Chain A
């Protein structure tokens, strides 16, 4: 019995989220076959780029035993910075660079609060979530800013453009970001150190890993990936809305947990996160086609999150019983 349980969870860790995705696709397909046509699936992947890029960064944070609740607010803030400056006609590449730098600064602020004031990550980022959202509201005076057509062509290409005429740009960006994340996670000293900190911080410190520095780096990663998500978000909608990120952090968090990264830290599943992000957006898109409103979609994602958490809870309980 013990081996069976172990084997089951071993396989589940590898293909569980893919299995759920297939089941969801079949259920949606039975209800309404339009949902599983190719253009819709490509659309789901394009939408998943926004959630997915931030989720890639979040995987590192959760793998390090931490959490970043402030990504939604960082997304709002940077979307506003992009829109406000592009609407003035500034060079879009320069504005995007500034956005990424600001994301980096937000990450440094989070990291410093966590390491220097010694506050738990999710509590610290809960506070900065409010602070960053406030900054976005102050910056825009709480009014959403549209980017006029003539200035928005470059950034819109990032979402609606097609590489070689067929592959959507956001899918390309998504794959590139995840390939980089996977490489960083598997091949670089940073990835190894993150895993070490996540599985046992005291031991990591004892072996000479500079825990504080790595923690700050992890939050820079979440900040920068949230900034990239903001760029894609603005590319999609051409609007900088200070409220766009309110409660948005649940999407990347759900993607990471669905992907099989345990909350206890020390392990991460980068490709699982990618499938998780696609699953999250696929569920939302499917419900949208079925005529379920915004509130219903939010409820569905919350249920998916609780479901994913319950699975990891059951995993914990059965594994403990088996051993």
Chain B
């Protein structure tokens, strides 16, 4: 019984332990990791991963995922800088990006829910489409000159970057939506079983559209954070972002099969990945090797469930063998 409880704890907080161990090791072995600066940068990057990851958590809990987030971010940031160069006020441009995100998310949702296209391939198509659109709008990088907008990335509150605080607010809102509202409950129900949810009277299609709407909206927020951090937009920015975000969600323990998940652990996993990404270059690992490592981390994250169930199978077999042996011993003693 005790072992089982340990298992559950590990499942939910494993990534937190991993992060603590990683930070201790880095602090002990690496000079770079003894200044506040690097931690602030880690939190800034993590804020962008996590904001996008909160939306992705919803999608993965529902048993699907959205591969188009990286391209959505590229298109969003290109549209943002284009609006700014047209002389649109910043606040309107921000609203424009958010509305665009909602439209892209809803469109993905309609393809998945109404056209009955499997999510991964629908969003794979949109991954291509959104990035191609971004390239058609502007094929060259544009720098953001608006000081107020850039200060979003540089300023701090209580020594912690503003970007991180924005993410924290989003995470709290996301948790409330996931745990306390009808949409959240329906998302969990769909993830457990679409058929059962349908029989229980849940409108699966509309819930799916709502989920991708949430993904689109949060990705748009992440777009703004990312554009502030980069200080520029380019159509090939954020390529492969979907990998990082999906890794963060899955490393956080949200099962790919759906039905289970937590936004808090997604945030912790985002900090973990961001720490790893800033640590690797200090050990002389170049960007390309880093890509290979990221692929391996992704495979590891995806196979955690298999590894865990194989381990528990072995444990179970051992325990039942022991019990059998003891029982046999007991009967032989009786005899």
Contact = CB atoms under 8 A, between A and B. Distances in A.
Given A138-B288, A299-B132, A313 B243 contact: no
A136 B5 CA distance: 44
A126 interface: yes
B interface majority secondary structure: helix
B329 interface: no
A134 B302 contact: no
Interface string A130-166: 1111110110011000000000000000000000000
Contacts of B131: 247, 298
Interface residues of B, number: 44
Given A299-B129, A299-B136, A303-B129, A310 B298 contact: no
Nearest to B256: A123
B306 interface: yes
Contacts of A309: 111, 115, 117, 121-122, 125
Interface residues of A, number: 48
A302 B240 contact: no
Interface string B254-295: 001000000000000000000000000000001111111111
Nearest to B247: A127
A201 to B, nearest CB: 16
B26 interface: no
Given A118-B306, A123-B302, A263-B121, A142 B132 contact: no
Contacts of B290: 134
A11 B135 CA distance: 39
Contact of A138 (B115, B121, B289): B289
B126 A302 contact: yes
A294 B133 CA distance: 11
A124 interface: yes
Contacts of A113: 299, 303
Contacts of A131: 291-292, 295-296, 299
A197 B136 CA distance: 42
A296 B126 contact: no
Contacts of B139: 295
B177 interface: no
B116 interface: yes
Contact of B115 (A120, A135, A303, A313): A313
A119 interface: yes
Interface in B293-326: 293-296, 298-299, 302-303, 306-307
B302 A119 contact: yes
Nearest to B129: A302
Interface in A76-119: 113, 117-119
B141 interface: no
A206 interface: no
B243 A126 contact: yes
B133 A299 contact: yes
Given A67-B121, A247-B127, A305-B121, 16 more contacts: A113-B299, A117-B299, A119-B306, A120-B256, A123-B302, A126-B243, A126-B298, A127-B299, A134-B294, A137-B288, A137-B291, A295-B132, A302-B128, A306-B111, A309-B125, A317-B116
